Amino acid sequence: MKLNRSAAPEAKGKLEFHLPEIKQFQLNNGLKVLFVEKDNLPIIQMSLIVNAGSRFDPSGKSGLAYLTSMLIDEGAGKYSALELDNEIESLGSIFGVSTDSDLIYMNMLSIKDKFEQSLELLTTIYASPLFTDADFEREKKKLLTMIIRNYDEPSYIASTNFRNLVYNATPYDHPIIGTLKEVETITNNDVKHFYRNTFSPSNSHLIVVGSITIPVLEKKLNNYFTSASFELENINNISTPIENNSNIYFIHKKGATQSEIRVGHLSNKRTDPDYFAKAILNSILGGQFSSRLNLNLREDKGFTYGVSSGYYYNKNYSYFQIATSVESKNTGEALEEIKKEINGIKQSISLEEINFAKSYLIKRFPAMFETYTQTANNLTSLVHYSLDKNYFNNYIQNIENCTKDEIEEAARKKIKTDKMIYVVVGDEEKVLSQLRIISDSNIIELDKFGKVKTSKSY
């Protein structure tokens, strides 16, 4: 007998999901700890985060936070750079450093049996980096080369310039890894000074997710995290952004076969009450495969391999961004379609779309706590954005509570066409004339580092 396949099977039964309990405590030296016990595997993930991201780069020294993070594990305590790496790898642990505009992250993943030794190494890296001149010179050279390399990447050029433009006149308006000119001027003393002015336990948080109980963990952490907190100079230099008016910025990339496109504007804080309405809105517009933008530009027109939109948050602001890469000859048309979708979503959103987006955001919730790393990242976001400690307990309810009115209002008021920044990186021979046809505003030509080119007449 043939199976009747015509209808999609319904979900069966209710799911049992218990949100992990988040415990918070403070060590004797002032370091705050967030902890989740998780023991389906014998592993422990630690993330030590410091308020020392690129927004704290002093003026004229962009890249300083990033370079400091590159040097942090190049030798510490009694270990040289190579010895330290050898210790970590011999334990079978994995250590990594990363930096964004707000934070420096030091992550250590270890097998339970090697936790204590891994912890000792992590605290050594945090409290006793060597910062030798030889290591400094090598890593600085590496960073300078990395900057050169990144500017070969059309997607990096587009994203970095877009970000710098929307964050105009704030400490977020420069590349996280810095610029060639400014990194050149950084000295090892700058690094040491930056470190001494940020890496205080009172300015850091530790996230732990793993197979260990809280009394044991607390005792071990207090044994190894012994460095004292200290006063920081006032380096919190947040200023109000000066929003650019809507413009098309064009960056020439000779021989490019596609155009990298970024469209968007500055947006508000992560803790503002419209966060959930914007999350639903974004999911409908470009936050998933079955979104308006992707179904149009990819599945209908075939202009691109993919297009997405998102709200990208840091501690003080966020930006809204649509990103895609399209074949050069379709650049103008793709921009027209993006504009059409932006205007469309401001006109109307159906209840069906809203329910679909809510279902997507709510039902994937358990999977957000699958791996040790994912769970640690969730705890990190609580700290990063100063979220309420019941944030995850209330997450599903907050999504469910969003009304159609609130979501439509977010679309009407929070997507700002008059402030929309367009960044296009492509080959001028193939692309510029298309931009001129669609644009009623100025086209501003930049070099790949964001400097306005002296105007040409057309």
- Between residue 70 and residue 89, which ones bind other proteins under the rule CB under 8 A? 81-82, 85-86, 89
- Between residue 290 and residue 309, which ones bind other proteins under the rule CB under 8 A? 290, 295, 298-305
Selected binder of other proteins within 78, 169, 181, 216 (CB under 8 A): 181
Q: What is the DSSP letter of 152?
A: T
Do 242 and 398 form a contact (C-beta atoms < 8 A)?
Answer: no
Q: Which is nearer to other proteins, 213 or 359 (CB)?
A: 359
Do 212 and 37 form a contact (C-beta atoms < 8 A)?
Answer: yes
Q: Is 90 a residue that touches other proteins (CB under 8 A)?
A: yes
CB within 8 A of 240, min separation 6: which ones?
169, 170
Q: Which two tokens stand for residue 94?
A: 């994995």
- Give least dist CB 276 to other proteins, A: 16
Q: Which residues pair with 46 in a beta bridge?
A: 108, 208
- Between residue 140 and residue 169, which ones bind other proteins under the rule CB under 8 A? 141-142, 145-146, 148-149, 151-154
Candidates 77, 79, 106, 75; CA nearest to 93 is 106
Residue 376 CB neighbours (<10 A): 22
Q: Is 367 a residue that touches other proteins (CB under 8 A)?
A: yes
- Between residue 17 and residue 46, which ones bind other proteins under the rule CB under 8 A? 17, 40-43
**What number of CA atoms fall less than 13 Å from residue 115's CA on the CB side?**
17
Q: Is 228 a residue that touches other proteins (CB under 8 A)?
A: no
User: Which one of 5-13, 99-107, 239-247, 382-390 is the stretch in contact with other proteins (CB under 8 A)?
Assistant: 5-13
Q: Is 369 a residue that touches other proteins (CB under 8 A)?
A: yes
User: Rounded to whole angstroms, what are the CA distances from 90 to 71, 117, 304, 318?
Assistant: 21, 11, 45, 41
Q: Is 362 a residue that touches other proteins (CB under 8 A)?
A: yes
Residue 2 CB neighbours (<10 A): 4
Q: Is 256 a residue that touches other proteins (CB under 8 A)?
A: yes
Radius of gyration for the chain, computed over Cα atoms and rounded to the nearest angstrom? 24
User: Which one of 137-145, 197-205, 237-245, 409-417 is the stretch in contact with other proteins (CB under 8 A)?
Assistant: 137-145
Q: Is 230 a residue that touches other proteins (CB under 8 A)?
A: no
Q: Which is nearer to other proteins, 132 or 202 (CB)?
A: 132
Give the whole-angstrom CA distance, residue 224 versus residue 127.
Answer: 10
User: Which one of 121-129, 221-229, 253-261, 409-417 is the stretch in contact with other proteins (CB under 8 A)?
Assistant: 253-261
Candidates 255, 421, 423; CA nearest to 325 is 423
Q: Is 128 a residue that touches other proteins (CB under 8 A)?
A: no
Q: Is 350 a residue that touches other proteins (CB under 8 A)?
A: no
Q: Which is nearer to other proteins, 141 or 196 (CB)?
A: 141
- Between residue 379 and residue 438, which ones bind other proteins under the rule CB under 8 A? none
User: Which one of 176-184, 231-239, 266-274, 399-407 is the stretch in contact with other proteins (CB under 8 A)?
Assistant: 176-184
- Give least dist CB 381 to other proteins, A: 19
Residue 273: strand, helix, or coil: coil
For helices 428-438 and 331-347, what crossing angle results, to 10°? 40
